[in-house]
Amino acid sequence: MERLIEGYKRFTSEVFPQRRMQFHLLAESQAPEFLFITCSDSRIVPDLILGTGPGDLFIARNAGNVVPVTGADVDGATATIEYAVEVVKVRHAILCGHSDCGAMKAALERKSLHNLPKASRWLSHVEAAFQHRQPLNPADSESAELAALIRGNVVAQWMNLREQPSVARAMGEGRLAVHGWYYDILTGRIERYDEQTRRFVPLIG
């Protein structure tokens, strides 16, 4: 806890005073252009990776960057998406998976989750990843099989995202674009899903 408290001290003494006007404006309202849906994994820090700051990203996080499609359930992921699209009016929705994802490891290795009944139920939402598993990439070396499945999960959840009523409506009206990304922790590279080729390609270059 001491580490967090020290960080907060630096924020109040150094960061906040320099950006007081920005926080004053953000206290009144928010208007982020991007909805960023990613995993709860502590190694994924969107603002660090993308050079964004307060007010730039509307972030939704959960294990496995899942977008459930079961209509009868009420869950935080789809409620957040609905709010971001209908109220915040984001222009882009980004579904971002990542290398070495624990949720996908469990799905691939079929590990027993008998002590984690809620996690086990939640991971039923990633089963579609196996239908969209991507070709093995030699650059992923010994993690190639897992990485192929993680990319497949990005595709599956990207498709689920597009099926959300608020998202489908906004896309139809031309006010929302939906993207699928894969972030590699080891190299820092991001790949985007190309719908035409049904493959992942570098985000830049």
| Residues acting as catalytic residues | 39, 41, 43, 98, 101
Q: What is the per-residue burial (b if ≥16 Cβ within 10 Å, else e) of 192-202? A: bbeeeeeebee
Q: Which residues does 61 contact at the CB level (< 8 Å), separation at least 6?
A: 37, 38, 39, 40
Please provide residue 35's backbone torsions phi and psi, each rounded to the nearest 5 degrees.
Answer: -100, 125
Cα–Cα distances in angstroms (integers) from residue 183 to residues 61, 98, 191, in the given order: 15, 5, 7
The crossing angle, in degrees rounded to 10, of helices 144-163 and 102-109 is 110
Tell which residue, 181, 128, 188, 124, has the closest CA to residue 151. Answer: 181
CA 53/CA 111 separation, integer angstroms: 37
